[in-house]
Amino acid sequence: MSAVAVALRTRRRLRGRAAVGAAILVILVLVALLAPVLAPHDPNAIDPSRVLAGPDASHPFGSDALGRDVLSRVLFAYRVSLGVAVGSVLVAMAVGIPLGLLAGYHGGWVDSLLMRPVDLLLALPALLLALSLIAIIGPGSGVALFAIAVIYLPILARVVRGSVLGVKGEAYVIGARARGVSRTGCMLRHVLPNSLGPAVVQASVLMGFAIQIEAALSFLGLGAQPPTPSLGLMLADGYQVLQQAPWADIYPGLAIAITVLAFTLIGDGLRDHFDPRGVSR
Amino acid sequence: MSTRTRYIAERVLLAIPTLLAMTVFVFLLIRLVPGDPVQTMLGFRATPQNVATIRHQLHLDEPLLTQYIDWMKGLVHGDLGRDYVSHAPLSELLGNALPVTLELTFLSMGLALVIGVPMGVMAAARPGTARRLTDGFVILGVSIPDFWLGTLLVLLFAATLVWLPPSGYTPFTADPVGNLRYMALPVLTLAIGEAAYIARTTRGAMDQALGAPFVTFLRAKGLAERSIVFRHALRNASVPIVTVAGIQFGVLLGGAIVIETLFGLPGVGRLTVTAINQRNYTVVQGAVLVIATLFIIVNLVTDLLYGWLDPRIDAGAER
């Protein structure tokens, strides 16, 4: 098979992947929204008679070390995780996109002034930056959201700045300026909409990783605090009873993996759509 | 001065302000804590006298700039300060923890390259089953959180098969075999996730290289496919592979924080987490400083390797 044929087939498969990812994500969001309806039990109800009890008809995912229903806890924890993930990326976009747009469009000293501090955030490994912020502010779900947003801000700002640099030289932008559209109008009406593609791809991939980071922080005891049901906390508790009750650990982990998978599939498909030549892969 | 020398000098000079800015951040870390950091740090031991002593020892009662200069002077002499819980010098604590983290990250990256590069090459050179398998491996490797993968590996290799210990540590110098047995699961955990990224990058870069005109020319010349793939295309694809391996090293350093905690390895990552939970700010400061410095050095080395591998830099072409 020629390289071109392989590339074309891969491309079709990737489009299909994005659809699969989107379908999984829709189901996951519905599950998160409907958690109170879907959960068969109270997620925090302690039942001494069911300590580490295995899965059965009324508790399909079994029970944890305090006899709490793992399925109900996964459903409620999932809401927290998804909320933190989506929230952090939205905050990072709200700050990062304008920064990247202004820096890329104006260039010169505006660029240096805005991007130098942003770049410094990239001088620390992401998780270490999050931990440092938590060390300063103290642990919690809100702090985790903020910390993840700070990690993502420079990435999104960089991506937007990069595509703005390309778009601002396009003929239609120069044409709009020649037609008498103001600099700001040009930036908002022509440059911004045409520069968002790569940022959207990046955001979808980052959302998947945000779920992982949130879980990692909570797993370390630095994210969501008990009694908030959190996937990371469930994994930390489940690890203690791994041999006696593997279900207390496997299901929350599976929930994270499926979510990241959905976002990865969507990101792959979108990247292919915005970047058909695969330059950035 | 040749273009290459200028490139190297430029990269090294650029790393200096980054390092300085990082030290400012780490220095401010303890001073940005809301309320009184010394009070928080000492907890129930915070008698007015203790607080005053520690504040004086940390020079928190002096002007900010003087504090920073003194702290930097200490750093230059290898004096990172003292842990106010165990009273041990930080250089000693970090000196013991750093080799563990370095062993974990370098072994993981090595294993990830050993798994990922051949997978990517196979996927690009032999479309079909190899490509589909690599694609599946990449998607799973990227999606599964490393600490959960670690848990699954513990469940399989430590709890069910009882081949390897679930957690613990022995120094390599004391017992090399024991050390590697303890390291096996954490290294495998980190390597699988990394291998997925390396495989994806290798496949993409090899796809491009194998489609390039120089490969068509080599084929027309009648060169063996094996030689084209490994000698020519892979050399051409090595630039993005090295770049991604360098970028991923930072992710590995982050991953090590969680994995060390999971597997009970006494590295810098676990030291950081324990210190944050105990609000032991001086230790947090030292550990963050060490990991961040390592990260900046690795980034610099990646940049330099990139310059060495990409001959266009020598010719002075635009990157």
- Condensed to tens digits (0 to 9), the pLDDT of residues A12-25 reads 655 677 888 889 98
pLDDT band for position A274 (cuts 50, 70, 90): low
pLDDT band for position A280 (cuts 50, 70, 90): very low
DSSP codes joined into one string, B174-211? T-HHHHHHHHHHHHHHHHHHHHHHHHHHHHHHHHHHHT
pLDDT score for B260 = 93
Contact yes or no for B306/B314 (Cβ under 8 A): no
* Residue A69 backbone phi and psi in degrees, to 5: -75, 120
- Gap between the Cα atoms of B305 and B319, Å rounded: 14
Answer yes or no: is pLDDT of A122 > 50: yes
Contact yes or no for B292/A123 (Cβ under 8 A): yes
The nearest alpha carbon in chain A to B21 belongs to: A120
Q: A235, B151: Cβ pair inside 8 Å?
A: yes
What's the Cα-to-Cα distance from B253 to each of A39, A224, B106, B140, B224, rounded to whole Å? 38, 23, 10, 21, 40
**Residues of chain A positioned with their CB less than 8 A from the CB of B207:** 3, 7, 278
- Gap between the Cα atoms of A262 and B157, Å rounded: 29
pLDDT score for B189 = 93
Structure tokens at A123: 């001088």
What value does the mean pLDDT of chain A take?
Answer: 83
The nearest alpha carbon in chain B to A267 belongs to: B139
pLDDT score for A278 = 45
pLDDT score for B1 = 61
**Residues of chain A positioned with their CB less than 8 A from the CB of B254:** 125-128
pLDDT score for B108 = 94
Q: B251, A257: Cβ pair inside 8 Å?
A: no
pLDDT score for B111 = 95
Contact yes or no for B295/B228 (Cβ under 8 A): no
> All domains of chain A, ordered by start, with CATH?
2-41+61-263 (1.10.3720.10)
**What pTM, to 2 d.p., does this model score?**
0.84
- Gap between the Cα atoms of B237 and B249, Å rounded: 19
Q: Which candidate in A132, A230, A263 is best for mutational testing of the B interface (most B CBs within 10 A)?
A: A132
What value does the mean pLDDT of chain B take?
Answer: 84
| 3-state secondary structure at position B36 | coil
Answer yes or no: is pLDDT of A277 > 80: no
Tally Cβ neighbours within 10 Å of residue A271. Answer: 22
- Gap between the Cα atoms of B119 and B196, Å rounded: 9
pLDDT band for position A92 (cuts 50, 70, 90): very high
pLDDT score for B317 = 45
Q: Which of A58-72, A183-197, B85-99, B145-159 has the lowest mean pLDDT?
A: A58-72
Answer yes or no: is pLDDT of A150 > 90: yes
The nearest alpha carbon in chain B to A217 belongs to: B258
pLDDT band for position A87 (cuts 50, 70, 90): very high
End-to-end CA, chain A = 22
pLDDT score for A270 = 78
The nearest alpha carbon in chain B to A246 belongs to: B155
**Residues of chain B positioned with their CB less than 8 A from the CB of A158:** none
pLDDT score for A279 = 41
More confident residue, B271 or A54: B271
- Gap between the Cα atoms of B136 and B113, Å rounded: 18
Number of Cβ pairs < 8 A linking chain A and chain B: 136
Q: Which candidate in B147, B262, B295 is best for mutational testing of the A interface (most A CBs within 10 A)?
A: B147
- Give tens-digit pLDDT for B87-118: 888 888 898 999 999 999 999 999 999 999 99
* Position A98, amino acid: P
Q: B151, A238: Cβ pair inside 8 Å?
A: yes
Give B254→chain A minimum CA distance, Å: 5
Answer yes or no: is pLDDT of A241 > 50: yes
Region A162-175 average pLDDT: 86
- Gap between the Cα atoms of B265 and B183, Å rounded: 9
The complex's ipTM? 0.82
The residues of chain B scoring below 50 in pLDDT are 316-319
Which of A135, A235, A278 is the closest to B29 by Cβ? A135
Which of A136, A220, A257 is the closest to B144 by Cβ? A257
Residues from A contacting B (CB-CB < 8 Å) are 1, 3-4, 6-7, 10, 120, 123-128, 131-132, 134-137, 208, 212, 215-216, 219-222, 235, 238-239, 242-243, 246, 249-250, 253, 256-258, 260-261, 264-265, 278, 281
- Give tens-digit pLDDT for B283-302: 888 899 999 888 888 888 88
pLDDT score for B231 = 80
- Gap between the Cα atoms of B210 and B228, Å rounded: 8
Q: A6, B131: Cβ pair inside 8 Å?
A: yes
Q: Which candidate in B143, B219, B283, B296 is best for mutational testing of the A interface (most A CBs within 10 A)?
A: B143
